[in-house]
Amino acid sequence: MKNDVPVKFFDISKRFGDTLAVDSADFSIHKGEFFGLLGPNGAGKTTLIKLLIGLANPTEGTAEVFGYDINEDYRQVHSYVGFAPAEANLDREFNIFDNLRFHAGYNGVSPREQLERAEQQLKKFDLWEKRNDKPYELSTGMRKKLLFARSMIIDPKIVILDEPTAGLDLETKEAVQNNIKKITEEGVTILFTTHQIDEAERLCDRVAIMNEGKVIEIGPPEELLESGQGDLVRITLAEEIDSLPGKLTRDGLRVELVSEKKEVRATVADGSEAAADIMRALHGAGIATKAVHVEKASLEDLFLQLTSKDDKTVSKENRVGGR
Amino acid sequence: MFLTLLKREVFRYVKNPSVTIGTPILSQILYIIVFGLVLGPRIGSVANHSYISFMLPGLVMMALITNSFMNPGWSLYMARHFDWIDPILSSPMSSTQMVSAYILAGVLRGLLVGTVLIIVALILPGVVAVTHLPFVLIYLVVVAFLGASLGTIVGLWADKFDHIVLAQTFALFPLVFLGGVFYSLEMIEDIYILSILVKFNPVTHMINGLRYGMIGVAELYIPFGLTGLVLLSSALFLVCVWLFRRGYNLRI
């Protein structure tokens, strides 16, 4: 290893025609960290991961893994990274035991050790009984576990998990989460993408929120919430309205109309103060209200706020503090 | 790393011998029976050899090049189509190692089919034995290597199943059938354009070389053909490595 930084992106971009799938990503992931990459579909999360593991060529910029450049030193980079993709890319021509041992072999594990490690991983993930099955004979949950097991068979220093719990039932999800927790205890760095914000909030040390290719916010979940967007204000309207009063948008309050246009919602620093301002604006426009709720905002509220179309170009000063 | 991928590629056809090895052998044996044993005596001798002896090296080459071509072609196409190439691409293997594994697996499949065919043919009555063994071996290896390199390129290029069939039907088969499997160059002397084109067809030189190795008859200059085939194979190998390095149809 050239240095102690598991992953560092240097203004890396990826363009497909006119679309900028990843736009100048520039951040680091620390050693032993559980790092979450959040964003809606098409935000650029998977492309960013593919850039890191050699499945995509960057248009501009680069990245390093423990100081090794992803292009020039790709062999060293790949030897450190285990990857479990969102979609199963398992070898359909071989059973799951062969899938694991071949994967170990592609990564330089000796033939004898390949067999030992494949057995060990299948047992660890409760898949030993299925060792002679083809990947397509497994359930979604089992395939996810197998992908996870495959990523671990090379003893990686970094594990990248792309939507590891998507589409799983509660029991399997919990089992996968427990396995993830176990490997973090072993000091392995984890880069994890998910749509399930509560999961990221609970598991991750830090998260990056991506939207339309850009990393728009990065930090520990609690700090992101405390940095200003701490409260969620929900105001139920007496009846449906077509649009928000102009004053609300002019004043720079980041509010939105939800629940079939019968609720006004805003994630703000000071809930009670913002609620009073919004109420005044609504009443001033002749809009009747039924109820007001101010509650602690979750990471999901922040995520929705940051990734909604209106907010994508909002500066941090505007987002944090609200006015 | 390289050995595991090679093992995977070889296991792929070894575990389905009836489809991957049995079928081509059966089809070539049918050619031997129909063209060699049934029609051969009516055609008479060609270049002072029975027709079956003359035709056999061509049939071996046909099976050899087709099988060495199909193995990496199909395997790479499938691996790309179902994305199971991704774990290979994100392993520490170099592009040269990956290409070598795909090509070598194709070479071994071609050699397996070719060798079985030669053994079967030698059992048949009236077939001349191998006269220049080193030439037989050299031509088998060079041609299998060339076929597998071509298959690797097609496997990378093909976006759908039909593209592989297209390459086989419109490129490989015409070259093979017009490469003198079933006739000598003397027989097409009167068809001027064909006789000229056939000499530029690499498959003609492949068959010519193997025919020399097996029955001692060469209609074209062997050193020229062999040098050309070695250069062509080397060039195709380098193209394969370059395509893998660039990530052609492999990386986004």
> For residue B39, what is the DSSP state?
I
Chain B contact probe: residue of A22, A93, A112, A132 with most B CBs at under 10 A: A93
Tell me the sheet residues that pair with A255: A266
What is residue A253's predicted lDDT score, i.e. its pLDDT? 64
- Positions of chain A with pLDDT lower than 50, given as ranges: 310-323
How many angstroms separate the CA atoms of B158 and B81, rounded? 10
Pick the CATH number of A7-219 from 3.40.50.300, 3.40.50.720, 1.10.630.10, 3.30.1330.10: 3.40.50.300
For the stretch A198-209, pLDDT in tens is: 788 888 999 999
Of A57, A53, A61, whose CA–CA distance to A77 is shortest? A53
Backbone angles phi, psi at A218, to 5 degrees: -150, 140
| ipTM of predicted complex | 0.89
> For residue A261, what is the DSSP state?
T
Size of interface A-B (CB pairs under 8 A): 79
Contact assessment for residue B6 and residue B105, using Cβ atoms and an 8 Å cutoff: yes
What is residue B78's predicted lDDT score, i.e. its pLDDT? 95
- Interface contact A15, partner B, CB < 8 A: no
CB contact under 8 A, A55 and B88: no
- Interface contact A71, partner B, CB < 8 A: no
Strand, coil or helix: A237:
strand
Residue A72: CB atoms within 10 A of its CB come to: 11
CB contact under 8 A, B1 and A47: no
What is residue A249's predicted lDDT score, i.e. its pLDDT? 66
Burial of A100 (0-12, 13-18, 19+ CB in 10 A): buried
Instruction: Residue window 183-202, chain A: list those with CB within 8 Å of chain B.
Output: none
Contact assessment for residue A112 and residue A119, using Cβ atoms and an 8 Å cutoff: no
Size of chain B in residues? 252
Contact assessment for residue A105 and residue A111, using Cβ atoms and an 8 Å cutoff: yes
DSSP A60-82: EEEEEETTEETTTTHHHHHHHEE
Chain A contact probe: residue of B3, B76, B252 with most A CBs at under 10 A: B252
Instruction: Residue window 51-70, chain A: list those with CB within 8 Å of chain B.
Output: 53-57
For the stretch A233-242, pLDDT in tens is: 888 988 888 8
How many angstroms separate the CA atoms of B201 and B178, rounded? 8
CB contact under 8 A, B251 and A89: no
What is residue B130's predicted lDDT score, i.e. its pLDDT? 83
Tell me the sheet residues that pair with B251: none
User: Hey, where are the domains in chain B?
Assistant: 2-246
User: Hey, where are the domains in chain A?
Assistant: 7-219, 229-319
What is residue A251's predicted lDDT score, i.e. its pLDDT? 60
Q: Is the domain defined by A229-319 classed in CATH 3.30.70?
A: yes
Edge-first strand listing for the sheet containing A81-84: A81-84, A158-162, A189-194, A34-38, A206-211, A214-219
- Positions of chain B with pLDDT lower than 50, given as ranges: none
Q: Which of A81, A85, A105 sits opposite B86 (nearest CB)?
A: A85
Edge-first strand listing for the sheet containing A263-268: A255-258, A263-268, A231-237, A289-296
Q: What is the CA B17 to chain-centroid distance, rounded?
A: 18
For the stretch A61-108, pLDDT in tens is: 999 999 999 999 999 999 999 999 988 899 999 999 999 999 999 999
